[in-house]
Amino acid sequence: MELLVAYDVATDTKAGRRRLRRVANLCVGHGQRVQKSVFECVLTEAQVERFTYRLLREIEVTEDSLRVYRLREPRGTYTQVFGLSPMDLSGTLIM
């Protein structure tokens, strides 16, 4: 399942900055950063449930915003990228 995850964490307090780091680290571990607070993820149904649960444990729902969009078509079908683009991790990487 392909997801687009976007978040906005209030960082005006020390606790908010800590929440931001934790949410970002969770997202880095599950997907590819395409903007500072936007990630593309390819996960199984079970991984989505666990990932969402862990994200919800980190955010403060009265101060932060978290959006998880399920993408129904293959990413290449509808995505146009202009400017810098992150690496495509779906294929073989040769370094």
Give me the mean pLDDT over the 78-90 stretch. 65
d(CA 43, CA 30): 8
Let me know if residue 16 belongs to a domain: yes
d(CA 14, CA 89): 34
Give me the mean pLDDT over the 13-32 stretch. 96
Q: Which of 14-18, 41-45, 72-76 has the lowest mean pLDDT?
A: 72-76
Residue 71 has what pLDDT? 86
Residue 93 has pLDDT above 60, yes or no: no
Let me know if residue 66 belongs to a domain: yes
pLDDT tens digits, 29-72:
999 999 999 999 999 999 999 999 999 999 999 999 999 999 87
Residue 89 has what pLDDT? 53
Let me know if residue 18 belongs to a domain: yes
Q: What is the CATH number of the domain that holds 36?
A: 3.30.70.240
Let me know if residue 84 belongs to a domain: no
Q: What proportion of the chain, given as a percentage, has pLDDT over 70?
A: 78
Domain count, the chain: 1
Let me know if residue 94 belongs to a domain: no
Residue 95 has what pLDDT? 47
d(CA 77, CA 39): 18
Let me know if residue 37 belongs to a domain: yes
Let me know if residue 31 belongs to a domain: yes
Let me know if residue 88 belongs to a domain: no
d(CA 1, CA 85): 21
Question: What's the whole-model pTM score?
Answer: 0.79
- Range of 36's domain? 2-74
